[in-house]
Amino acid sequence: MEKDKYSKELEVAVRVVHLACALCIRVQEGLVSASGDHVKSKDDDSPVTVADWSVQATVSWLLSDIFGSQNVSIVAEEDTHAISKADSEGFLAAVVNTASVTQLGAPLEDIGYLDPVDGTLGFVRGDQYAVALALIEDGQVVLGVLGCPNYPMKREWLNYQHQYSQTMSALSLRSTDVWEKGCVLYARRGSGKAWVQPLICEDKMLEWPNYARLIQVSSIDDPALATLCEPVEKANSNHSFTAGLAHSVGLRKKPLHVYSMVKYAAIARGDAEIFMKFAKSGYKEKIWDHAAGVVIIEEAGGVVTDAGGCPLDFSRGVYLEGLDRGIIACSGVTLHEKIVGAVYASWDSSNL
Q: Among candidates 155, 349, 120, which has minimal Cα distance to 265?
A: 155
**Residue 176 clears pLDDT 80, i.e. is over it:** no
Pair 34, 223: CB distance under 8 Å: no
Under DSSP, is residue 145 helix (H, G, I), strand (E, B) or coil?
A: strand
pLDDT at 8: 84
Identify the DSSP state of 243: H
120 among known catalytic residues: yes
**Residue 314 clears pLDDT 90, i.e. is over it:** yes
Percent of the chain with pLDDT over 70: 60
Under DSSP, is residue 236 helix (H, G, I), strand (E, B) or coil?
A: coil
Report the residue count for the chain: 352
Number of H helices, E strands in the chain: 10, 14
Q: Among candidates 82, 61, 62, 50, which has minimal Cα distance to 15?
A: 62
Q: In whole angstroms, how large is the CA radius of gyration of the chain?
A: 19
Q: Among candidates 293, 286, 262, 263, which has minimal Cα distance to 276?
A: 263
Q: Report residue 299's pLDDT band, with 50, 70 and 90 as the boundaries.
A: very high
The answer on whether 79 is annotated among ligand-binding residues is no
Q: CATH second-level architecture of 223-349?
A: 3-Layer(aba) Sandwich (3.40)
The answer on whether 324 is annotated among ligand-binding residues is no
Cα separation, 132 vs 148, in Å, equals 9
The answer on whether 87 is annotated among ligand-binding residues is no
Cα separation, 74 vs 195, in Å, equals 24
The answer on whether 285 is annotated among ligand-binding residues is no
Under DSSP, is residue 118 helix (H, G, I), strand (E, B) or coil?
A: strand
More confident residue, 94 or 209: 209
Pair 148, 184: CB distance under 8 Å: yes
> What class, spelled out in words, does domain 7-215 have in CATH?
alpha beta
- CA distances 201 to 37, 148, 198, 213, 295, Å, are 26, 13, 9, 18, 25
Q: Domain residues of the chain, as ranges?
A: 7-215, 223-349
pLDDT at 194: 97
140-148 vs 130-137, strand pairing mode: antiparallel
Q: Report residue 281's pLDDT band, with 50, 70 and 90 as the boundaries.
A: confident
What mean pLDDT value characterizes the chain?
75
Cα separation, 346 vs 325, in Å, equals 12
For the ranges 119-128, 137-146, 221-230, 304-313, which has the lowest average pLDDT? Answer: 119-128
49, 58, 120, 227: the catalytic one is 120
52, 127, 271, 306: the catalytic one is 52
